[in-house]
Structure 1
Amino acid sequence: MNAVYVRVSTDEQAKTGYSLQDQLQSCRQRLLSLGLPNISEYVDDGYSGEFLERPALERLRDDLRAGTIENVCVYDPDRLSRNLTNQLILADEIEKAGAKLLFVTGDYDASPEGRLFFSMRGAISAFEKAKIRERTMRGKRAKVLSGKPLFAAPPFGYSCDRVAGQYVIVPEEAEIIRDIFARYSGKKYGILPLGADLRACGIVNIRTGKPFSASVLHRMITNEMYAGTKWTFQIYQKLIAQKKRKIIHRDKSEWVAITIPAIIDRETWEKTCEVREQNKVMAKRNSKREYLLSGVIKCAGCGYAMRGITYPKRTKKEYGYYVCTAYINENICNCKTGIPVQELDEAVWNHILQTYSASYIAANKRRKTIDKPRHDTEAQLANLKARKATILKWVSAGTVDMDEAEKELKNLNTSINAVMESLESKPKIIDISPKEIASAKTMDEKRRVLLKLKIKVYAKKEGGKISYTIRDS
């Protein structure tokens, strides 16, 4: 039997038939021209050549091992794989099975010279793939640095003007967005009560005609696009197996902010963020036991949040511990020892009672201190934006090198983002009196104190000793 193996790497190519029929026809003609009928086809539609785990390829390898195949015809070496190592593995398996490897675009010679040429072609193929990826990413980054977003499906409230390269507000959807943010920030709802309130008022997703789900509402109130800032290059996807990708978060220094039309004002957004943090700290969810530091405590070893867990003992007593959640996120943390809840809660609360009375007075004194006039910072921001606009004009006119322009635009965007953050940031004001701290007795009262103090507790236990630090969140 003679085998034809063809492959395309994307689902879209597979659906449209792009190159698949071409490959099959060319491979069949190649075999028939050599007087080799009895052809069997092995087609991998929408599978990356980076990995060997492909359904049709695995069937082909099984048939090779069974000795039922005499010739294997492939359109080009990169259809086997763009990975040189994988190409050599497959070529070696075909040779060991006593079959002959044929290509439409050239002849394969099993001699040392032929294998060297085959290896060179594989290396060139891998290089070409890397260059395509690099050029694609470079083009996307240049577009974003010029202030134009990378369009995907527009979120509720917006449509896309692809000619102008900008998002456009949809008025009737924008009204619903404003209503949702007003209800959430004004009534301090959780997601589920917010959804129930919207359903009771007959407010639905006008795109689908159905009520807003909890997941959709959560994406809405956490999307800064609605406040006029779209962040790009926050994450990237890495192919780790066939049909399986891993989402990797980029460092914040790599993020790029794009200004888009705002549906809500910045004050509403900041209030929403504050309510979201409050709900996060105060949420009881399905916990059978309350933990004072829930939503506040982080692991001092790796920075991941810690969660409270209660273990029943034979004595019918229950013992609570704070444990690191790194394992949930498939990360490794060396701080594997749980921290007793009661011991740490008491230590942290006593620390707050002893120190925050003095810090309250100091913080309120700092309210009247202005480090730098706001108008100076605004002038700096205007100057940076003017420089950015000038460079973009030079790029449009073709009077500046693209590499140099991209580098300068990246630096300018970093500076603009930093200045904008300094304008938006507010000095920490402890909006709570020493009397309120001292009078807190119940779990809810103490947790509300922690919420107003806006702190994070970083803790760990080593050698039987608990250590912790308290930082501003």
Structure 2
Amino acid sequence: MKRAAIYARVSKAYKKKGETRVSIEEQRVDCEAYCEERGYAIVACYVDKDKYRVKGKLKSPSGENKDRPSYQAMLKAARAGEFDVIVAWKEDRLYRGIYAAIPFVEMLDDQRGGVTVELVKETFNRAMLEIKAAIGKLELDNIRERTTMGVKARLRAGKANTGQDRYGYERNGEVIELVEEEARWVQQIFAWYIERVPLMEIRRRLIEAGAPQKGSSVPRKIQWARSSIQAVLGAAEVYTSGIKRHSRDGEVFEIPVPSILDRETYRQFLKVREVNKKHPAHNIKRDYLIGGLVYCECGRKWGARSLSSWRKNSKGERILRKKRSGCYYCPEQHKERIHPDCPRTIGANKADEYAWSKVCEVLNVPDVLILEAQRHVDNFRQQAADIQAERERLRGDMDALVMERQWVITQARKGTITAQDMEHQLSALTFQELSLKRKAMNIGEMAALSAFDGWEDAARAYLAILSDGLAELDANPETDEERRELFAMKRDIVLALVDRVQIGKDRELVVSFKLDARSLLGQAALDAVQIELGGTCTRIQLSLPRRHFASCASPSPPAYRC
């Protein structure tokens, strides 16, 4: 019985009235019926429907994007041999355009028939994949161009554009009108802000008073999110001037709207805004050794900040701190999204000292990393026997592409095919050529690495260089310049070796290390090797003996107290 994985995708999670887009549920039902009819066992279902973040930017799961979370998870599982066939509703659910199709093609080539693709509403043809991907991209570009032209024509005529209505307004046909109840809450939000009420307190008051929130095409996960309040405050100029500005392809259009705020309120708002932008006197910049590497169970990357000069003692009294310091903190502020195992903060000094002690342990005992690297190198050498045959096959494929390209150009000159058909076919051949060149490069690097015997010496020399400077880095700096220099050197070592620091409920830190032989040898054949060293960072000194734990990175690495 074949093991099947279903893939479904929509660019927007929720469709508006009258839209004919196929929903996730409809795709899933059809795919499940397809698998049941053929006797396939469904082992996984991958769905991309919600927006996701990449480097802090929110992206929609468009078929153009190859970094869709479920799409990438499916490709990874396919390479691991977790299923035999991928079932999708249509081919454009998997990808739209060459960019997103590249990793899919590479996966199929790597599996060499181990994973097949079947479509419910179409027939999948591997030979036509590149051409259909290119055509899909052209179709998408044409749709966008026509949409943009229509939107710009409406904006030039002073008509309201489609999209989310700003809080306080709603569209009535082609005119933007005032919503009286929402407008009163806009005025109240600005009044609170001018009175220096914190944003989270404003949020609490809005929820408690039952203030209506603007409807959304996507159901809101939390009431009056901090970002929603910031969006209201960010529209102060629109609320005051009565002019809503739209930008499209570099052009700016002005649409008249009713005013909500008066000039005096706007002036006071700007004054408070400017004061809030200035850093308080106690907010002194500090150095954070593991900044940008700390994560918690909320799934958020932690930030760093300096602490106030004052703190509360056990009696609740405010007292002056003996020593100024900073802390790492979870940026999640909405209680609904805070994981119960998130400790919220940890002292920067304690966390940095603990992480640095683990770095020193690894550098003093480099065999932990070397042994893991040896295991990965052995795996590559076991595959060396197949490398030469694969290289010859790729050379043959690339020669065939050259001949096919020449044939297409010849047919266009004879008039057998149109110029547009020639462009489509040449773009598809270019895509195939790039894919084959990438595979050939990787295979060449794998062959070089499998024959290279000096990687261990290079790795040990690299770690020895880092280890030799540890004693100097622990010296007490006499000037600020020396302190900054020592910190920069420590930070470089941490970034070179530490992959991430996971913090648990009791402020237990799990430090994940990496040794990238690729950067050491200048080759791209060896995956980053990781080990896990764990421990607890608290104010109480533990008496348990120190231990080392070495393994490849796993979804839930074990932690050891030390």
Provide TM-score, normalisation by structure 2: 0.36
Provide TM-score, normalisation by structure 1: 0.41
